[in-house]
A and B are shown apart, each in its own frame.
Chain A
Amino acid sequence: MSLSMATPAFLIERNLDRCIHCQVCVRQCANEAHGYDHEEQRVYSDDMRCVNCHRCVVLCPTRALSVRQFPLEFRANANWTAEVIHNIYLQAATGGILLTGMGNDRPYPIYWDHMLINASQVTNPSIDPLREPMELKTFLGRKPEKIVIENGRLKEALPPQLELELPVMFSAMSFGSISLNAMKSLALAAEAEGTYYNTGEGGLHKDLYPLGHRTIVQVASGRFGVHPDYLAAGAAIEIKIGQGAKPGIGGHLPGEKVGREVSETRMIPEGTDALSPAPHHDIYSIEDLRQLIYSLKEATNYSKPVSVKIAAVHNVAAIASGIARAGADIIAIDGYRGGTGATPLRTRDHVGIPIEFALAAVDSRLRDEGIRNQVSLVVAGSIRHSADIVKAVALGADAVYIGSAALIALGCHMCQKCYTGKCNWGIATQDPNLTKRLNPEIGAKRAANLLKAWKHEIKEMLGGMGINALESLRGNRLMLRGIGLTDRELNILGIKAAGE
């Protein structure tokens, strides 16, 4: 065996003046970066194993620990960076694809941060959300071109809609990729705040059926856990075509994560790898998609909206138009920064386009074709805070999905090691010793708090613009101005430059 060229990524620093050798860090670290030497009766650490998830740092009773980048530096080279070199060492040693978790972390421009929001002055009063009503209620689903009223009643009922108290839902994250406690946390938070969470492609655990009315049930290429009761349980059905963290490729849940509960929920044998094919093998064209949409509608008696989720790719506007015409009620678009439990590094970092452009292009295209009202648009792929949401709605989104932000609320520290199954925060793991670290009630409270806080902030910004209902912001791109963008970028986003 050749020499391993791996060096540590992180340096664990233990202040020995403070350490009382209580071994909390040893017990907390699933990566075994901390150990205890019984002979010497002291703790030690192995930097090689550290993923910098901060679990030990946060739990150490004496604040003895800190973790930082390992200070080892190569000779300065802007092209052959340390990361590039390390990855080559790794691949040379293993011959494998590089795996990672969470979303694209490359320093591409973040277009949200190149847009600024308007406010009222003099000609138009701003509104104080603490004194005046401020409405965020949002309906997702197909809207007819007009309504007909006869004798004071609706002649025809509206197509099924999801009713959201704020334009934020929890993104698809499957049981398997995250723990049941994490799912429960999100489901309970969705119930508390009047929104929805999404099963991802992992089926619906039996414990979550009582919260079916808050659940968007996903149908993905592996069809894991899809059966009549599952479809009937959800408030809406989402066909997953792709996701932003890995456009064009399927999914892989390693057999180690497929324990009894996951196996039951997914309806696959225990310990087998759960492989989702890259495409749905019954969808090779838009006509096929239409058939699946209508099969699902038939199966649920046209009582639930059907969503189609795609990754933001180059031709997203035309694809979305096709999906709208194929009969989808909601289109969810996931940008290239979207997170995931496991994805090939190169795909994550180099495939897809920013959600800001995808959203602007899709909204404009659907309007040009006069079919924007036929579908609702939900965007995902790194919505980080309430201002991102305000900007997304102004660009044309009906609502957003949050995944990474929701997990961060539950305690995720963005170590990007979700694919290892050793999440020390009890989120991206099925190990019972780890999952019990996340109490679903506390998790639910934290996730709900995040939604509450964002709701207040959205209301503040709306009030500042002199708007008291979110719908008046939807697609209202006059409320945005670009900063540091080229003409072409402004053009695609459909906004003016600051000062114009």
Chain B
Amino acid sequence: MVGNDGWARPWELQGNHRREGSKRIPSGCAIAGMINRKGRTMSGVDAIQSIALMHDRSNGLGGGFAAYGIYPEFPEHYAFHLFFDDHKAREQTESFLNQHFNIELGGPIPTRKVVGISGAPLIWRYFAKPKLEQLRVAEMKEDDFVVNMVMFINERLDGAYVFSSGKNMGAFKGVGYPEDIGEFYRLDEYRGYIWTAHGRFPTNTPGWWGGAHPFTLLDLSVVHNGEISSYGANRRFLEMFGYRCTLQTDTEVMTYIFDLLLRRQGLPLETAVKAVAAPFWSTIARMPQAQREVLTAIRTVYSSLLVNGPFSIVLGSSQGIMALNDRVKLRPLVAATKGDLLYVASEESAIREICPKPERVWSPRGGEPVIGMLEDAMPKAVPAPPVTVCHL
């Protein structure tokens, strides 16, 4: 085992570092998310505190965060976060990256020593743009090119794994309780206008950092609680569109579903939601004709993307967050607002922990998305006021 500073620490070698994907691992979890709709940034402290309250919903085998607006100094660069098993893997990956990207800045992601976090891989970060000549050769749009590169590294380059690849956002995750992971990554030092968080309760001990949530692709991130019974149907449909679900996790599948519908097919978010958590036919039958036609078409064409079984998710993107339950609400999800802030979490207490007097608290119905978008559709991160808004 090699520490984050690059020194070998053989005494930390424990567990197997086999990646997930060789078998399917169901897991239960805690999730939380928050957005400042004005684009004002807040530190990671609230997200950590909120998810920490739901300590018992995870079992120390995975925690993570996604934060948006954290790299205002590199708004146009893809921020790649990578895990490396060792420096050989890093060097190999860097030479691959250098071939295809202009790297503006690269280096280890700063961490601190935390009791309860051990066995960390090398964790590095690169701010990069695809080389124009490479885009020409590949005849691809920037985003598609980046997706391809990420998939290539994750599948083909041994010992390297990209776990974050969006612009002006980043995922931070690992094996441990989420509050320890937050501490480890020094998230108190970052400021973002969106935070999502996750504590994992896998029913198996993979011990691989890449398996923690959030799962991300470009600037899309998903934290997820649940086990989807439609996994096999969803996965085989996605595979027709070129996705390879190598991790065999529900979260990966969720991310690809939204990537397909939102980015590649350009559907509006509400439509994508209706595919994933479709209204029942009996409900559709009562709708006015135009709406009924649309929903019938969604359920007919995207029937294999219906996500069946219990889940609650928070989907993060640079433009906002969306929280969603399965259509019969078999997993908890609570939402609350206060001023410009929207909170969602598995438990109400996790919201009240950081926002004791919300203006409105509600439990969204199954299949009814809670959507919080930035008021300015294409936001520039607004400099933050000195204190986080909601502490009373």
Contact = CB atoms under 8 A, between A and B. Distances in A.
A474 interface: yes
A478 B28 CA distance: 19
B293 A472 contact: no
A149 B330 contact: no
B239 A367 contact: yes
A472 B229 contact: yes
A124 B229 contact: yes
Given A132-B328, A370-B241, A468-B308, A478 B232 contact: yes
Interface string B217-234: 000000000110111111
Given A471-B233, A474-B233, A146 B265 contact: yes
B298 interface: yes
Contacts of A372: 240
Interface stretch (B38-46, B102-110, B146-154, B276-284): B276-284
B268 interface: yes
B280 to A, nearest CB: 5
A452 B51 CA distance: 48
Q: For the side of the interface on A, what is the size category?
A: 35 or more
A152 B301 contact: no
B264 to A, nearest CB: 9
A146 B290 CA distance: 18
Contacts of A474: 233, 303-304
Given A123-B28, A133-B282, A147-B301, A476 B232 contact: yes
The secondary-structure label for the interface of chain A is loop
Given A149-B267, A469-B278, A472-B233, A127 B240 contact: no
Contacts of B229: 120, 124, 465-467, 472, 476, 479
Given A123-B28, A475-B304, A153 B290 contact: yes
A472 B234 CA distance: 8
Nearest to B296: A158
A367 B243 CA distance: 12
B99 interface: no
A199 interface: no
Contacts of A467: 229-230, 308-309
Nearest to B242: A370
A139 interface: yes
Contacts of B304: 373, 471, 474-475
Nearest to B230: A472
Interface in B294-318: 294, 296-304, 306-310
Interface in B230-272: 230-234, 236-237, 239-241, 265, 267-268, 271
Contacts of A290: none
A144 B268 CA distance: 17
A133 B280 CA distance: 8
A124 B227 contact: yes
B301 to A, nearest CB: 5
A146 B267 contact: yes
Interface string A476-490: 111100000000000
A387 to B, nearest CB: 18
B364 interface: no
A200 to B, nearest CB: 28
Nearest to A363: B236
A477 B309 CA distance: 16
A137 interface: yes
Contacts of B231: 476, 478
B291 interface: yes
A476 B230 contact: yes
A479 B232 contact: yes
Nearest to B300: A139
Given A124-B226, A367-B240, A372-B240, 20 more contacts: A120-B309, A124-B26, A133-B282, A144-B301, A147-B302, A153-B290, A154-B293, A154-B297, A158-B297, A373-B237, A467-B308, A468-B328, A471-B230, A471-B304, A472-B308, A472-B309, A475-B237, A476-B232, A476-B236, A477-B236
Interface of B: 24, 26-28, 203, 226-227, 229-234, 236-237, 239-241, 265, 267-268, 271, 278, 280-282, 290-291, 293-294, 296-304, 306-310, 327-328, 330
15 contacts: A120-B229, A123-B203, A133-B280, A135-B281, A146-B301, A147-B267, A158-B300, A367-B239, A466-B309, A467-B308, A468-B328, A471-B230, A476-B231, A476-B232, A477-B236
